[in-house]
Amino acid sequence: MAGGPPAGRRAVGCRDRHVAGLVGTVTEYQGAVLGLDEETYHAHPALSSTGARQLLEAPARFEHAQSQPRAPRKAFDVGTLAHSKVLGVGAGVAVYPDGAGDHVFADPETGEEFDNVLASNGAASTKLAKSFEVWARTQGLVPLKRAEADEVNAMAEAVLSHPTARVLLEQAGHPEVSVFGTDPATGVECRARFDFLGRVGVDLKTFYGAATPVKFAKTVADHGYHVQSAHYEDTLSFIGEQIDAFAFIVVEKDPPYLVAVFVLDDDYREIGAARAKRARELFAASRDSGVWPGYPSQIQIARPPQWAVHDHIDATEAER
C-alpha cells in the first residue's frame, strides 16, 4: 500500500479548498475537495449515500428528509468524536463539568461559575447542562460526559494500534475527502465523503456487539453499507478516478474495543452497485416527475429471510 499508484493508475487528485458556505451551483464543487467542513458538506444538495439508501426504501422518505433541518444526534456523538480522534480532523470534545476535573462553566444568565453541571444521578438533564451543551455545539464542539470521552480515547487508541488499520490510515492520501461528481447516465449529481482516501478508500465504523464477519455481514445488509461503498466508488468514477479497494475499519464500542477490518466480497459489491444505480434512477425519475412515491399501494408479501429458514430447519432437526 505504500508508495505511488500502480502502473497505469493515477492517484486521486484533490483540490485543497476550504469553502465557508455553499454558493452557486452544485457543479462548482465537481472533483475531490479537501478541507470542506462537515456542515457545508451535509448541506450540499447532491445525492449522498444516505440519500441513496433512503430512496431505495421509498422516494417519499428521501424527499421528507431533505425538508428537515439537520440537527445534532446524541446517538452519533461518540462515533463522530472517534472519527475525529483517529483521523486528526473534525470536531473536538467538550467534557461536561462534573466536579471531578478542572472544568468550570459560567452560567450565561448570572456569570456564576460551576464545576459541576450534572444532576445528582450524573444525568445531563439540568438547566446548566443544557446550557453547556448549547454553548459547546455553538463552538463546534461535541459535549460528552467524562466516561464517554474516555471511551472515545480508548476506541481511537485501539484503531491506531491495529496493524492493518494503521497501514490503511498511514497510506499516501488524505483524511475527510469530499468528492462531487455527476452520473452521466442520469444527470444526478452525487457526493461522497471518505474518512480516508488513498489507493484504498476507508470508512471507519463504530460497532455495537461483536464485530465478527458474520455479524458485520448482517449489519452491511441492515444498514446498506454495500450501497454506501458502491455510491462512493461510483462518485469517484464520475470524476475519472478509481481506487484499488474500499475497506471498513470497525471498532467495537465496548471494552476491550476490538478492531476488525473488512472488505466486501464480489456478491456484495455486485448487489451494492446495482442498488446504488437504482437509487440514482429513482432520484432522476422523481426529480423529473415531481412525484416522490411511498410504499406500493397493493398488499405485499412478507417472506422469511434465508437465515430464518435455516434456523427453522436446524431447530426442527435438533428436535427429532
Q: How far apart are CA 289 and CA 283, in angstroms?
A: 10
pLDDT one-digit tens code per residue, 172-184: 999 999 999 999 9
213 within some domain: yes
- Whether the pLDDT of residue 62 is over 50: the answer is yes
Query: Which residue in 273, 248, 246 sits closest to 259, CA to CA?
Result: 248
> Averaged over 280-302, what is the pLDDT?
97
Same domain for 270 and 125: no
Confirm if 129 and 96 have CB atoms less than 8 A apart: yes
HSE at residue 146, side-chain half, CA atoms within 13 A, is 11
Q: Which amino acid is at 289?
A: S
Does some domain include residue 11?
no
| DSSP classification of residue 202 | E
293 lies in some domain: no
Q: Is the pTM of this model over 0.75?
A: yes
Q: Are residues 214 and 229 in the same domain?
A: yes
Q: How many domains does the chain have?
A: 2
Residue 38, domain extent:
26-90+147-288
Same domain assignment for residues 271 and 165: yes
Residue type, 258: L
Q: Cβ atoms within 10 A of the Cβ of 283, count? A: 24
* Per-residue model confidence (pLDDT) at position 90: 79
Tell me, yes or no, whether 118 and 228 share the same domain: no
256 domain-assigned: yes
Q: Which residues are bridge partners to 250 per DSSP?
A: 205, 260
Q: What is the pLDDT of residue 9?
A: 35
- Percent of the chain exceeding pLDDT 70 equals 90
Q: Which residue has the cell 468514477?
A: 237
| Model confidence at 8: pLDDT above 60 | no
Same domain, 126 and 192: no
Cell 450501497, residue located: 227
Q: Are residues 117 and 152 in the same domain?
A: no
Q: What is the DSSP string of 99-160?
A: SSSS--EE-TTT--EESB-S-TTS-S-SHHHHHHHHHHHHTTEEEE-HHHHHHHHHHHHHHH
Same domain flag for 45 and 187: yes
Same domain, 129 and 152: no
The residues near 128 (Cβ < 8 Å, ≥ 6 apart) are 105, 107, 114, 117
Contact 218, 226 (CB under 8 A): no
Rounded CA-CA distance 181/13 in Å is 13
Domain membership flag for residue 283:
yes
- How far from 85 is each of 79, 80, 175, 242, 308, CA to CA, in Å? 10, 9, 12, 27, 39
- Does residue 194 sit in the same domain as residue 56? yes
Q: Same domain, yes or no, for 42 and 123?
A: no
Q: Residue 10 domain-assigned?
A: no
Task: Indicate if 62 and 127 belong to the same structural domain.
Answer: no
